[in-house]
Structures are given as structure tokens and as C-alpha cells.
Chain A
């Protein structure tokens, strides 16, 4: 879980400009790290959406001998069932990414809602909700997911819901802290003094300030979700009718790819997961960094101050 510590949100003018204006102007989009991360993600998303459609045939169709090493015809070789690894990889992208985004969305909604309500209303609501969050935090997530998946069946929807229902806690905390900060902002108090109702306050004043952070956090959640999916499918609890990267790793394991020294069946799907998770982390972290003040400069360094000749040219 991200141990993101919110220090202070950046100073804001009296009437906040629209969310999109701020996003456009924000240092996030100019951060090279975020851009690279986003670029990679976009690449994968496009592959996931358009790839499977572009495939000439069903990815799991047997097209060659079992565990054949990479060749021109099959750049990533074949898997334990003789199917083209590259096609499988592309096909798997759509499911893995779908689970990732959907589950992250579920977590974001739950976490965002809990955090928003707790932060805005404070008092008993806050305490109750935070108690709930604390309990959830302590219960180990993967075993819970595994147990629930084992008990409640293996459809894709269930998996998405299960993952989503586990990872909302860190989001809730983050959003709660941010909501509390925003709530105390002058213009919110002013609006309230003018008689704005709670809903209006939340939607028009608090939400725009909270959403950027929520989005940054959701990007990180996508990483967790994709990760979690690989766990679930690896243990055979995934949707048997769908191919995902996690499934490919499981297949390789079950089909004894190791005995056959078929590294091409093992490396690509895991590599794909690693890259996407990395990209999400890059982007999400860069976005969160852009919203937090910089750490102070350290007083300690291997290098010290330098000496200089002055005026230049003197001995």
C-alpha cells in the first residue's frame, strides 16, 4: 500500500480555476517521468483495445508444435498448447488491463467516497469510517481475495469486484486528509456562510480540489489491481474462459515450461505485467509528487562546498 503522506496541498487562488485548466498548467504533465509512464500505458491500452480485434484468429489456436522456441513465424515462440505467444500476449493485454482499470475504478469510488464523507463531515462519521478503514487495513489483502475468490466463484466480474473491494483503504485515507484541508479553505467557508448546502459545497468546491489527487492515486491502484489479478489467476481462481497475463504465467507453470526450458513462455507475460505496473507507478508517483511540496535540501552530502579563485585569475 502506498504510504503517501499528504503534507500540504499547493496554495490556491481565491476562486479555483477549472480542473482541466489546472491539469493543463500543472507541473505533472511537464514532468518527464509522468509523460513516459503515460506513454507506455497508452501503448498498452491501445494494444489491449485494438490488438485482439486485429488478430487473424483466436489467440489460443494451436499453430505450431508445443513450446517451440522463437522464430520468424512466431516471434515469441509457442506455449504449452502450441499457440502463438505473441498473440496470446496481445489477447491477454485486454483482459489484464480491463481488470486493472475496472478494479481500480471500483476502489477509487469506494475509497473516494469514504474519504470524502469522513473528511467532510468529521465527527462521528469520521471516527466510524476510519475505524472501518483501520480494520480493513489490518486484514491481509491477498489471502482475503484468494479466500473470497475460492468461495464465490470465478467470473471476471467477481474478480473485479473482489479486487476493488480490497484496495480502497489507502485511497480513503488520502482523500480524507485532502478533504479536511480543503474544507478549511477560505472560499469553502465563504460559500457555506452564503448558505450553500452540503451537496453543493462538496460537488462544486471540495471535489475539484480532491479529484486530481484521486486520479493520481487511482493510477497507482491500477498497478495493484493488475498485480492482484496475477495472483488470483495463478492459483487457478481466475475466469477459466478468459486469457490474461496472469493466466499465461499460470499456464506456463502448469505446462511445465521450466522442464522444457521454454523461457519464452514464461518471460513475456510477467515482463508485460512488470512494465505496466512500473509505468503506472511512474505516472502515479509523479502526479502525487507534483501535488506535494518538495523535500528540504539535505545538509549532508559527499561533496562539500567548493573553493573559487577571486578575482578570477589571481593565484
Chain B
């Protein structure tokens, strides 16, 4: 199995999954009891209006026709329009996406760093109290509902560290004077830290465990004994031979963890009133704004698929042994 074969196969799989996701999305939302329109509650929403809306949204056509229309719309990047604001879903979701991405990136970064450090230390001091304490701590954090941890953070930590606990920017900024780019960036970061840290704490356990067991497995390999025989110090051995091999599973895990993050960050954004996709999802649910909900869900699914593909290809590049 050559490299190209592997790449092609993975890309194919990703594309197939995308199709499945799109179809699933379609089925879900069309199969819901009462269609999008019947749930609408507004003053002008008479039965007549609802019929009109139905025609507009194409809900009166057969399911297959609707599916085909849906696919066509998607191909044009049209995710429908928000029921609430009547603006295109893509426009509605743009800003939230911009807000969520850096926050998630920061959170993932925290969890990876914490995880690697904790995992390596645990593996190095395998069996000792340090190892066990590390494992239990990370397991403990991993078992906490993220929204709860977020609330705890707000309750006990935010005040002490002087960090803001909601939104993404200081509303007073920019009113009295023109803030410099630096001030704006710092402000944004300050608002991102708590939610990102919460995500990082909840998720680092999984990394720590994987790094630890990958490390242990690697450290049991013969080439480690060889390295030691060659005279490498403990540290050199870990760094040059242990870490790189042990980190391979971490790469895969990053992508798989995207699924985990995507679970947690929705509730975290809710707790911190952070105006990202998570909050948009919650608001859409609240207001029965199904097009937005559908669009957001599709975007989330697509990003997970995409990152899984990236992880697969990265892993392949890093480990020359990989064949399917």
C-alpha cells in the first residue's frame, strides 16, 4: 500500500462521511415532528402565512425533491435563512465562528500541553505516588461536567484573577477612546482565558492518559534499552526516542478530541455567555430557529470530519510504518 493509496483512501472516506452527514442533517430536520414552520409563533403567523412560508421553504414538495434542492443549496453555500432575523444563516454564523475558533484553539492548546506534561511525568515516575496523583487528578477533572467546572471557575477563580466572566469584549472599550490593536487583542484574550482554561482542564486527562500509556509502551521497547546502552541520559532518551514515538497517538487524539471539545464547548459558551457557535446553537434552540440550528450542526460535523482527515494524514506522515 503506497502512500498515495492511503491518502486517497482517507480522502474518499472523508467525502463519503460528509455526504452521510449532510443526508443525516437533512433527515433529522425534516423528520422532526411538526416542520419548521408550524413551530413559528409570531403575531402575523396566521395559517395562511404559514402556508406561504411553507411554499417559500419548499416544504410542500416531496421529500426527494426537497433533498435535491437542499443539496443544490449546499453546493452554492446557501444554508438557508434564519427564521428570526431573515438574514442568511451563513451571515448569522460568521461572527460566532470567528469567536469560537480562537477560543477552542486556546483550549486545545492548554489541554495538549497539560496532557503531555502530566503524561510524561506519570510515565517517567511510573508506579510512584506522583504517577497515581497525576492520574487521579486528570481523571477527576475529566469527570467533571464542563459547565459545572465553568461555574466553579467563575465562582472562585474569576474574581481572584480579575478575569471577566462573560462575553468576548469589554463593552466600555472603544466608547470613550480609540483602543489600540494591542489593547483589543489583550481584551479578547482575557475573555477567552477562562472558557479555554475550563475546556483545557476538562480534556487534558484524556491526553495525559494516552501520552502516559504510549510513553510506557515506548519505554518498554528494545530501542530504548539500546539508547540507554549507547550512553544516552534519561532525559535524552525520553526526548529523542521516547517522546516522538509516544506523541504519534496524540496527533490522532487531537482530532478525535474535537468531538469531545465540541461537546463541552457548547455548554461552556453558554455559561460564559461567550458569543460563539455554541451560544448560537443554544439560542437557535431557544428560539426554534431551525435553519440556524441545522446550519450550525452541519458546520460542526463538517469540521470534525475535516480535522479527522487532517489527523489521519498527519499520522501517516509522521509514522512511516503506517499502512492500512
Contacts and interface: CB of A to CB of B under 8 A. Distances in A.
Interface stretch (A86-94, A175-183, A245-253): A245-253
Interface string A290-312: 00000111111110000000000
B267 A231 contact: yes
Contact of A302 (B16, B152, B234, B271): B234
Given A235-B285, A253-B147, A147 B262 contact: no
Contacts of B97: none
A237 interface: yes
A47 to B, nearest CB: 18
B262 A143 contact: yes
Interface centre among A296, A298, A299, A300 (most CB of B within 10 A): A300
B24 interface: yes
Contacts of A143: 262-263, 266, 281, 296-297, 300-301
A138 B15 CA distance: 12
A298 B13 contact: no
A113 B67 CA distance: 32
A140 B270 contact: no
Contacts of A257: 151
A274 B151 contact: no
A148 interface: yes
A135 B20 contact: yes
Contact of B213 (A146, A231, A234, A295): A295
Query: How many A residues touch the partner, as a band?
Result: 35 or more
Nearest to B13: A134
Nearest to B256: A1
A275 B144 CA distance: 8
A187 interface: no
Contacts of A278: 139-140, 143
Interface in A109-155: 134-135, 138-144, 146-148, 150-153
Nearest to B147: A234
Interface centre among A151, A236, A237, A278 (most CB of B within 10 A): A151
Contacts of B21: 135, 138-139
B148 A266 contact: yes
B244 interface: no
A253 B151 contact: yes
A257 B242 CA distance: 48
A267 interface: yes
Contacts of A150: 285, 293
A258 interface: yes
B63 to A, nearest CB: 16
Given A135-B17, A236-B286, A274-B140, A297 B210 contact: no
B148 A230 contact: yes
B61 interface: no
B217 A295 contact: yes
A270 B262 contact: no
Given A141-B263, A147-B293, A300-B224, A267 B219 contact: no
Contact of A299 (B149, B151, B220, B263): B220
Contacts of A140: 258-259, 262-263, 300-301, 304
B155 interface: yes
Contacts of B29: 151
A219 interface: no
Contacts of A241: none
A165 interface: no
A77 B210 CA distance: 40
9 contacts: A138-B17, A139-B17, A139-B21, A151-B31, A227-B145, A235-B285, A269-B148, A274-B143, A278-B143
Closest 3 pairs (CB-CB, A-B):
A142-B263, A270-B148, A296-B220
Interface of A: 1, 3, 134-135, 138-144, 146-148, 150-153, 223, 227, 230-231, 234-237, 246, 249, 252-253, 257-258, 261, 263, 266-267, 269-270, 273-275, 277-278, 281, 295-302
Given A140-B262, A295-B213, 8 more contacts: A135-B17, A231-B266, A234-B147, A236-B286, A249-B148, A266-B148, A273-B144, A295-B217
